[in-house]
DNA sequence: TTACGCTGCA
DNA sequence: TGCAGCGTAA
C-alpha cells in the first residue's frame, strides 16, 4: 500500500495552486523517492516537474511503485475541504483505482476522508537533461511575480537579459516599452530578500509572459525563485518547497526572428 | 399601535439575511409574545420558524395583534440603510397598511425613517408539533456551515448519521465520496467550540444540500447550532438569537429509496 | 439579479 | 486569523 502524511495541508494546497493552471490532469508517480510529477502543460508548451521527497513527509510508506492519475479540478475541491492546519494523509492500495485523502483537525475531534477515482492517463515520460547553465539568478519570488505581472501589461513577451551588470527584464508593445533592471544585492542579513546572479556567460532570451505568469502561481511555496538560462535551451524556473522538495517549470525561449 | 425598538440594528440585518434566501415575502405576526414568523420556503420544501421575543426588545408595545406582510427584498433594501449600531424602531398603526422603520445614530445626530407598504399575504398557519428527538447535536455554527459547503461539492445530498461514536456527515458523487466525522468534545473551557451529542437512539437521515446551505445563512446569528433528528421526521436546525429568540429551520429527509 | 468565492484589511 | 467588501459567475 501507499501512505503519505503531512502535518499541515497548507503546503499541499499551495502545490496544487502551483500546477492547476497549467495542467488539467496529472500523473503522480509514487516510489521510495517520494511523489513525482512531470508533465507538459495543457498546450504542450511548458513543462512542470515536481518532486515531494519521501523524507519530507511525516510518514511515508510506498510498498510498490504506483502512478496515480488525478483530475486536478476534483483534487482541488477535495483539498479545499481541509483546514490549513489539518494533518493530511494520502492513502492508496496497490493496484487500487481510488485514492483516499484523510484530514484530521489538530484536536482530533474532526476527521474527514475523501475518496477519489483515479484516472488512467497517457504516460509521457520526459527526459530532462541536467545541464550547466550560463546564468543563474536567485531573487525573491514575490519580486519575480511582480515583474512578470507588470511587464505582461506591455506585451506578450518578456526579454530576460543577464550580463555582468545584472539582469534586465524588458517588454514592449502598443502602450510603450518597459525595462526592469536588478543588480546583485550584497544584503547578507536577509537572505530571502537578496538577488544573487551567477553569470558564466551573458545570455539574452525571450519568453511568453503567459507561461511565466502561470509559473508564479508557485510563489507562496518559497520566498526565493531561481531562474536558469543558457542560449537556445529552455529557461528553468525553480521554487524550493522547504524541507519537502521543489517545483520546476521549463519554458523554451521564443525564436528571436519571430518577435514581430 | 405597534412599536418595537432594538438598540442595534445588526441583529435585525442578520435575521433578514437568514430568511431572505428562502422566502420572497413573509408575514410577521406581532403580539404580546413578540414578533413571529412561520412559513414554508418558496419551493414549499423547508419551513422557517422565527421568534423575536417581546422581552428581547429595548421597547415593545403591541396594543392589538397584527400581521405585517412584507416583501423581503424591499425590507432588505431598507434595513441596509441602517448602520449596524443604529437604534431601530419599527412602528405601525393598528389596521395600517404601512410600516415605518426609524434609524437613529448613537449620537442622535442622524435620524432616518423609511415607510414601506405592507402586503396582504395568504396566511398558511402551520402546526409544528413539539416532539422529542432521537438525536440532538450541538456544534459550532461555522463548523456546520463549513461541512455543508464542503460536502455540497460532492453531491446534492448529505447523509447525517448519529451514533454513539459521534456524528458523521457523508456525500458522494461523480468526483468521489466524502465523510466528515465529529466526536463529542470534552472542551468545557470554550463552550462555543464544543460539540455535544445527545443520542437516545442512532439515526441516519439524508437531506438536500441546497436547503442546508440556505439554513447556514443564519450562522452570524449564533456561535452554536443545534441539529435535532428522529427517523422519518423533519430535521430541525436551530440557531439561538442571543437574548432575543431563535430561528428554526425544518427539512424533511429524503426517502432513502430515492437515493439513486 | 442574486449568491458565492476570493482577496485585502483589521 | 477572522471578517467585510468586492467581483464574478450562475
Min Cα distance A225 → chain B (Å) is: 33
**Considering the domain boundaries, does residue A126 fall inside one?**
no
Q: Which of B117, B150, B170 is the last residue of a domain?
A: B117
B109 vs B100: which has the higher pLDDT? B100
Residue A127 within any structural domain of the chain: no
Identity of the residue in B176, B181, B195 whose CB atom sits nearest the CB atom of A74:
B176
| Mean per-residue pLDDT, B226-251 | 96
Give me Rg for the CA atoms of chain B: 20
Residues B22 and B82 grouped into a single domain: yes
Q: Is position A125 within any domain?
A: no
Residue A256 has a pLDDT of: 66
- Closest partner residue to B179 among A77, A108, A112, by Cβ? A112
Angle at B162 between CA B158 and CA B163, to 5 degrees: 145
How far: B73 CA to C3 C1' (Å)? 14
Q: Does B56 share its domain with B107?
A: yes
Q: How confident is the model at residue B14 (pLDDT cuts 50, 70, 90)?
A: very high
Instruction: Give the residue-averaged pLDDT of B82-98.
Output: 92
Kindly state whether residue A258 falls inside one of the protein's structural domains. Answer: no
Among A82-91, A109-118, B125-134, B160-169, whose mean pLDDT is lowest? Answer: B125-134
Q: What is the DSSP letter of B82?
A: S
Q: Is A149 on the interface with B (CB under 8 A)?
A: no
Contact A128/B at CB under 8 A: no
A142 and A243: one domain? yes
Q: How far is the CA of B212 from the C1' of D2 (A)?
A: 23
Residues A111 and A139 in one domain: no
pLDDT in tens, chain A (260 residues): 999 999 989 999 999 999 999 999 999 999 999 999 999 999 999 999 999 999 999 999 999 999 999 999 999 999 999 999 999 999 999 988 999 999 999 887 899 999 999 999 987 778 888 889 999 999 999 999 999 999 998 999 999 999 999 999 999 998 899 999 999 987 667 778 899 999 999 999 999 999 999 999 999 999 999 999 999 999 999 999 999 999 999 999 998 655 44
pTM of the shown model: 0.94
Q: CB–CB of A114 and B176 under 8 A?
A: yes
B256, pLDDT greater than 80: no
B256 inside domain? no
Chain A's closest residue to B153, CA to CA, is A77
Which pairs with CB-CB distance under 8 Å and at least 24 residues apart come from B193-197?
A: B193/B140, B194/B138, B194/B139, B194/B140, B195/A109, B195/B137, B195/B138, B195/B139, B195/B140, B195/B143, B195/B166, B195/B167, B196/B137, B196/B138, B196/B139, B197/B135, B197/B136, B197/B137, B197/B138, B197/B162, B197/B166, B197/B167
B180 and A117: CB-CB below 8 Å? no
B216 CA to D1 C1' in angstroms comes to 21
Residues A57 and A144 in one domain: no
Same domain, yes or no: B80 and B171: no
Same domain, A246 and A160: yes
Q: Worst-scoring range by mean pLDDT, B145-159, B176-190, B242-256?
A: B176-190
CB A39, CB A29: distance < 8 Å: no
Q: Is the pLDDT of residue B108 over 90?
A: no
How far apart are the CA of A21 and the nearest CA of chain B, in angstroms?
19
Confidence check: pLDDT of B187 > 90: no
Residue B58 belongs to a domain: yes
Positions of strand C less than 7 angstroms from a protein CB: 1-6
Residue A239: CATH number of its domain: 3.70.10.10
In a domain, A68, yes or no: yes
Residue B178: the pLDDT is 96
pLDDT score for A169? 97
Where on the phi/psi map is residue A247: left (φ > 0), alpha (ψ -120 to 50), or beta? Answer: beta
Domain count across chain B: 2
> Cα separations (Å) of A64 from A96, A118, A122?
12, 17, 20
Q: Does B182 touch chain A (CB under 8 A)?
A: yes
User: What Å value separates CA A180 and C1' C8?
Assistant: 27
Looking at residue A260, its pLDDT comes to 46
- Of B84, B117, B150, the residue that ends a domain is B117
Quote the domain boundaries for residue A193. Answer: 135-251
Domain shared by B81 and B29, yes or no:
yes
The confidence score (pLDDT) of residue B129 equals: 82
Q: Are residues B49 and B101 in the same domain?
A: yes
The residue of chain B nearest to residue A77, with distances taken between CA atoms, is B153
Tell me which nucleotides of strand D come within 7 A of a protein CB. Answer: 1, 3
Q: In what order do the strands lie in the sheet with B224-229?
A: B66-71, B25-31, B34-40, B46-53, B245-251, B235-241, B224-229, B135-140, B196-199
Band (pLDDT 50/70/90 cuts) for residue B15 is: very high
Q: In chain A, whose CA is at the least distance from the CA of B177?
A: A115
Closest-CA residue of chain A to B146: A81
Amino acid at each position: 500500500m501507499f501512505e503519505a502524511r503531512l502535518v499541515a495541508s497548507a503546503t499541499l494546497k499551495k502545490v496544487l495552486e502551483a500546477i492547476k493552471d497549467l495542467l488539467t490532469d496529472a500523473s503522480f508517480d509514487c516510489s521510495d523517492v517520494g511523489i513525482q510529477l512531470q508533465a507538459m502543460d495543457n498546450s504542450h508548451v511548458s513543462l512542470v516537474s515536481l518532486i515531494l521527497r519521501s523524507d519530507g513527509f511525516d510518514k511515508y510508506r510506498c510498498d510498490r511503485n504506483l502512478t496515480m492519475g488525478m483530475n486536478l479540478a476534483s483534487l482541488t475541491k477535495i483539498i479545499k475541504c481541509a483546514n490549513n492546519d489539518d494533518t493530511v494523509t494520502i492513502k492508496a492500495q496497490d493496484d487500487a483505482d481510488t485514492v483516499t485523502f484523510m484530514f484530521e483537525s489538530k484536536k482530533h475531534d474532526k476527521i474527514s476522508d475523501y475518496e477519489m477515482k483515479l484516472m488512467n492517463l497517457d504516460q509521457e515520460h520526459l527526459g530532462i537533461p541536467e545541464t550547466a547553465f550560463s546564468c543563474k539568478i536567485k531573487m525573491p519570488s514575490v519580486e519575480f511575480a511582480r515583474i512578470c505581472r507588470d511587464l505582461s501589461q506591455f506585451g506578450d513577451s518578456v526579454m530576460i537579459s543577464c550580463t555582468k551588470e545584472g539582469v534586465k527584464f524588458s517588454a514592449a508593445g502598443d502602450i510603450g516599452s518597459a525595462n526592469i533592471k536588478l543588480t546583485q544585492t550584497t544584503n547578507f542579513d536577509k537572505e530571502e530578500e537578496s538577488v544573487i546572479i551567477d553569470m558564466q556567460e551573458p545570455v539574452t532570451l525571450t519568453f511568453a509572459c503567459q507561461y511565466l505568469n502561470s509559473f508564479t502561481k508557485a510563489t507562496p511555496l518559497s520566498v526565493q525563485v531561481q531562474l536558469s538560462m543558457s542560449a537556445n535551451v529552455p529557461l528553468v524556473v525553480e521554487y524550493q518547497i522547504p524541507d519537502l522538495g521543489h517545483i520546476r517549470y521549463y519554458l523554451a525561449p521564443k525564436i528571436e526572428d519571430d518577435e514581430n
